[in-house]
Amino acid sequence: MSSEPEISSSSTSAPEQSGENISKKAAKKEAARLEKLRRKQEHEEAARKTSSLSLEDESFTRNYGDVTLTELQSTEDPRAGKWREAIEGKKLTDLSCLVEETVGSEVLIRGRVNTNRQKSSKLGFLILRQSIFTVQCVATQSEETKVSVNFIKYLKQLSNESVVDVIGVVVKPKEEVKGTTQQVEIQVRKAYCLSGAMPQLPLLIEDASRSEIEIEAGLSGAKANQDTRLNNRVIDLRTPANQAIFRIQAQVQKAFREFLDAKDFVEIHTPKLMAGSSEGGSAVFRLEYKGQPACLAQSPQLHKQMAICGDLRRVYEVGPVFRAEDSFTHRHLCEFVGLDVEMEIQSHYSEIMDIVDELFVSIFTRVNDRCEKELAAVGKQFPFAPLKFLPKTLRLTFAEGIQMLKDAGVEVDPLGDLNTESERKLGQLVLEKYDTEFYMLHRYPAAVRPFYTMPCADDSRYSNSFDVFIRGEEIISGAQRVHIPEFLEKRAGECGIDVNTIKTYVDSFRYGAPLHGGFGVGLERVVMLFCALNNIRKTSMFPRDPQRLAP
């Protein structure tokens, strides 16, 4: 059960088969063209290197150059090469740590070449980038420090995105450095390239990082389109906004767990492979499992309820959820991360809503507190206003929501579901009236909820269920479940479901079942709406939609 299987062709030939309706022939041709271009670039680069660097004394040449393979292979021998010799006994300093207090000290730093310019043969500038931090490195020709003209030439030919180690002295520049996050400079003594990037990248960081405002104002160059970004996600992930988005995502789930752990919830893992025939719904991915028909779990619904019947009392799961829906909207994915909760209740479904309320207020507060820099980085490229939410989350009944829409002239079916448009409209009305972009709507019509949702005691047309909205879009669905097997069978029958097909599910409740309920949230959707981003593909690291299965 090693986690490092041999990578087979099936798992890596991915992008060639990405669903972009290019014929195989055309795709092959394009690949061959790119390959040819790459080879040409490599040759040109090699030629440039040899021609530009003439012979010079070893005391100069040892201060720069490409790191050799042997050195990269974890040798501990400082004689293996000049890089090994130079870094011997030194520890890398993070770019984020290069602040005024470090002025005067010699540091070893590592970063990508972000920009690279030569002012003269004796003066070169290199901006290094590490995650969202940047620093300017200045190389000045000098006999004393053994920085030669060839050294500066070497720096000049380093391609953008190459990974470079620089050893140098931290100095305070005379004037403010524009275009870098760090307000100190590095006087370069030594520089070594650990990994050269292709000179011509399929996506430029500056295009991928360009602010939406600049683009709209037509102030600057090209905008990277979504598909180009996603096809080259390895490069796209390096933009400040993306660096921030996935750190925010990590904080959202961390805050989710912290809150629930403190409330005695147990994190569980339920199987994604389920037995199944070919008669099920259309939104199911099917496969063959050792000769049996199987499918991928569309949610942990059944198993999280089984965990409750198994007396785990309060459980949550963070895991992939698979939906084979043909949805090409801004907010649907075929695979996303589900945050699922299921819990015993004492006597009322409002206990579940209490948890949702406290949980999300806690998540929003923690993310605002902990991700100030990250939220700013996202906002710089995709400007947004902070989410408005109340310390105690607003709860409206579905009927009240319908009435608000009606009063505003929007007629919707009082026993039907809200469509995207009416969700948006209601969000707007709630914002105007209650000054919040986060609220709950409960007592949904029973007809639009699954059969296992507990109907209301006083009116069976409604159910003990709720949806939660951020900025006018649904992010959470939850409810009290029917835990009485006979009633569950009756409800299934009323919903036109053949009771025999759900026998296992119903049987889980025959051995004594606690009163319970729960909810499910899509992680990507929470991050998207918290940051008011316009597309869920921005908050999924490697998104899967009906047309995209790669990279």
Which residues are part of the catalytic machinery? 323, 325, 331-332, 474, 477, 525
CB of 27 to a copy of itself, least distance (A): 12
Question: Encoding tokens for residue 282?
Answer: 């259309």
Q: Which is nearer to a copy of itself, 10 or 54 (CB)?
A: 10
Residue 173 CA to residue 539 CA, distance in Å, equals 38
Q: What is the DSSP string of 439-459?
A: EEEES-BGGGS-TTBPBPSS-
Task: Report which of 540, 182, 530 is spatially closest to residue 382, judged by C-alpha positions.
Answer: 530
Q: Which is nearer to a copy of itself, 67 or 147 (CB)?
A: 67
Residue 79: C-alpha distances to residues 70, 83, 87, 193 (Å): 11, 9, 11, 18
Q: Which is nearer to a copy of itself, 113 or 375 (CB)?
A: 113
Q: Which is nearer to a copy of itself, 124 or 543 (CB)?
A: 543
Helix axes of 398-407 and 420-434: crossing angle, nearest 10 degrees: 90
CB of 65 to a copy of itself, least distance (A): 15
- Cβ burial 213-236 (10 Å sphere, 16+ → b, else e): eeeeeeeeeeebeeebbbbbbebb
- Four-residue CA torsion sign, 241, 243, 246, 249: negative
Q: Which is nearer to a copy of itself, 13 or 120 (CB)?
A: 13
The region of 117-125, 422-430, 433-441, 478-486 touching a copy of itself under the rule CB under 8 A is 478-486
Pick one of 229, 331, 471, 538: the residue that binds a copy of itself (CB under 8 A): 331
Question: Encoding tokens for residue 109?
Answer: 């730093």
Secondary structure of residue 410 in the 3-state scheme? coil
Q: Is 404 in the site for a copy of itself (CB under 8 A)?
A: no
Report the Cα 542 to chain-centroid distance in Å: 8
Pick one of 318, 361, 394, 415: the residue that binds a copy of itself (CB under 8 A): 318
Pick one of 24, 91, 174, 178: the residue that binds a copy of itself (CB under 8 A): 91
Compute φ and ψ for 359, nearest 5 degrees.
-60, -50
Q: Is 116 in the site for a copy of itself (CB under 8 A)?
A: no
CB of 489 to a copy of itself, least distance (A): 12
Pick one of 241, 297, 430, 446: the residue that binds a copy of itself (CB under 8 A): 297
Task: Report which of 352, 322, 383, 359 is spatially closest to residue 438, judged by C-alpha positions.
Answer: 359
Q: Is 414 in the site for a copy of itself (CB under 8 A)?
A: no
The region of 13-21, 172-180, 380-388, 394-402 touching a copy of itself under the rule CB under 8 A is 13-21
Tell me the per-residue interface mask from 48 to 87 with a copy of itself, x by CB under 8 A, - otherwise. Answer: ---------------------xxxxxxxxx--x---x--x
Residue 157 CA to residue 62 CA, distance in Å, equals 17
Q: In the range 434-473, which residues lie near a copy of itself by CB under 8 A? A: 449-452, 454-458, 464, 467
CB–CB of 172/81 below 8 Å? Answer: no
CB of 209 to a copy of itself, least distance (A): 13
Pick one of 210, 303, 395, 538: the residue that binds a copy of itself (CB under 8 A): 303
Q: Is 22 in the site for a copy of itself (CB under 8 A)?
A: no
Q: In the range 223-252, which residues lie near a copy of itself by CB under 8 A? A: 232-238, 242-243, 246-247, 250
- Cβ burial 177-196 (10 Å sphere, 16+ → b, else e): beebbbebbbbbbbbbbeeb
Pick one of 109, 224, 515, 533: the residue that binds a copy of itself (CB under 8 A): 515
Q: Is 398 in the site for a copy of itself (CB under 8 A)?
A: no
The region of 54-62, 221-229, 338-346, 422-430 touching a copy of itself under the rule CB under 8 A is 338-346
Report the Cα 27 to chain-centroid distance in Å: 28
